[in-house]
Amino acid sequence: MFTALDVVPSIGSTNTELAARARKGEAEPGTVLVAEEQTSGRGRLDRGWSAPPRSGLFFSTLLRPAPPAERWGWIPLLAGVAVAGALARTAGVDMGLKWPNDVLARVGGEERKLGGILAERVETPGGAAVVLGIGLNVTLSADELPVPTAGSLALAGAQGTDRDPLLRAVLRAFEDWYGRWTAADGDPTESVLLEAYAAGCVTLGRTVRAELPGGDELTGEAVAVDGDGRLVIASAEGVQRPVAAGDIVHLRPTAGE
């Protein structure tokens, strides 16, 4: 599925650049853009994402999904499953997924964010497409972390931090899961994507606070991820509400923590 690989020494944001190329018809589906350094990396809600040069994996790929557009919301969750599985196998680090798009691992007994995933819809001359961006901290030391809640594969005790095999492993895993999802016409149950995501999602079973668009908040237990990829939160009264977007704060640790 990957048709071209472009590695650049430094760039503002791989997502921004690849989206711009796609809109002008200068990038085909399957293109992967990798940066040794991002100077203006973006996460959800346009938050910054920065790291020293050659300290992580910062890349984006252009997709033109065949399944119906209403199922495209599964793409970042699919990427999370692929990333977590690939890093567990290649780096030997137990990974977890925080809904909707954070990749976590334990550093010094604490859950830390190692990476994030951002999917953006773009209109191209060939039709609607998706730019999927992934950023992962690989070799950052404690002094180089952007915030205290961040981590890196090195700090999590990775068996290896060579970025080339890590990138290859992530791309292979993504291709595998994307192929399954596409073959199932985007159905998360038939492709077993929903089951795999729920198994790796450390948000489930926790008491959480959802900070919703518009300033509203919702507190309760995260009980499920539904067929649309939304997080289902049950209030103290037992009322279940699906959340499609928002920041999730874990308020209660899982058993054994």
What is the domain partition of the chain in residue ranges?
4-200, 207-250
Rounded Cα gap, residues 135 and 251, in angstroms: 25
Q: Confirm if 91 and 159 have CB atoms less than 8 A apart.
A: yes
Classify 4-200 by CATH class: alpha beta
Local confidence pLDDT in tens for the 257 residues of the chain: 999 999 999 999 999 999 999 999 999 999 999 999 988 755 554 555 567 899 999 999 999 999 999 999 999 999 999 999 999 999 999 999 999 999 999 999 999 999 999 999 999 999 999 999 999 999 999 999 988 899 999 999 999 999 999 999 999 999 999 999 999 999 999 999 999 999 999 999 999 999 988 888 999 999 999 999 999 999 989 899 999 988 899 996 654 44
Q: At what angle do helices 163-183 and 75-91 cross, to 10 degrees?
A: 140
pLDDT score for 92: 97
Q: For residue 52, give both structure tokens.
A: 């020293």
pLDDT score for 148: 87
In this structure, are strands 231-234 and 240-243 parallel, antiparallel, or unpaired? Answer: antiparallel
pLDDT score for 253: 62
pLDDT score for 29: 97
CATH number for the domain running over 207-250: 2.30.30.100
Phi first, then psi, for residue 81 (nearest 5°) are -60, -45
pLDDT score for 256: 47
pLDDT score for 45: 45
Residues 29-55 as b/e (b if ≥16 CB within 10 A, e otherwise) read: bebbbbbebbeebbbbeeeebebeeeb
pLDDT score for 181: 98
